[in-house]
Amino acid sequence: MAASTAQIVAHWVEHEVEMTVDWSTAHERCWRCGYRTRLEKCHIVPVALGGSDAADNLVLLCARCRREAPSHEDPRYMWRWLRATGVSSPDSTYWTMRGWEEFEVIFGRKPLEVFREAEVDHRSLNAECRALAADEFAKTVSHFGEGRLNPSTIACVIAEIEKKLADRHGITLP
């Protein structure tokens, strides 16, 4: 029988594992992205590679992070991945930041970089971005069962905001 959520948290708290997660909320927040959501038990070493269902072989992740977790027989990779990609602040902007990174992959440049060199009041630009964001996010949906937008959708929203800002300010996008 697999360890319970409480047993998993208690085990790792007792072993004082260095993590970005706040242990007081480790039973309700993903140990990687920090979102408060339904957590899934994720094997550090997959059962197919000899791992067990004991607390010392489980971490708690949201469904999205669980799908991205390493599946390797060496447990050091899971811990390295969690420490390298985990976020410490609750209600973090982890997936939004992933959207910004996805924008760079798709468009080959940093979001809004064209406005850095343009003579545009950056305070008004920030206000315009916020106003446009609500409209653009209203044009999206999350994939069934996800509950939040994926990074590529966020990248598309950023692109639309950027396009509208460029049009308003007479700037040509690359």
Assigned domain for 174 exists: no
pTM, to two decimals: 0.68
Q: Is residue 113 part of a domain?
A: yes
Containing H/E element for 9?
helix 5-14
Indicate if 81 and 98 belong to the same structural domain: no
Q: Are 115 and 171 a contacting pair, CB within 8 Å? A: yes
The residue behind tokens 């447990």 is: 75
Residue 72 lies in a domain: yes
Q: How many domains does the chain have?
A: 2
Q: What is the pLDDT of residue 77?
A: 94
Domain that holds residue 49: 5-85
The pLDDT, as a whole number, for residue 28 is: 92
User: What local confidence, expressed as pLDDT, does residue 92 receive?
Assistant: 57
Q: Tell whether 57 and 112 lie within a shared domain.
A: no
Percentage of the chain with pLDDT > 90? 45
The amino acid present at 133, given as its one-letter code, is: A
Q: Are residues 161 and 123 in the same domain?
A: yes
Q: What's at 94, amino acid-wise?
A: Y
Domain-located, residue 103: yes
C-alpha distance from residue 43 to each of 50, 54, 110, 173 (Å): 10, 9, 35, 45
Domain boundary among 85, 105, 139: 85
Which portions of the chain are predicted below pLDDT 70? Answer: 88-92, 145-147
Q: What are the tokens at 18?
A: 């260095």
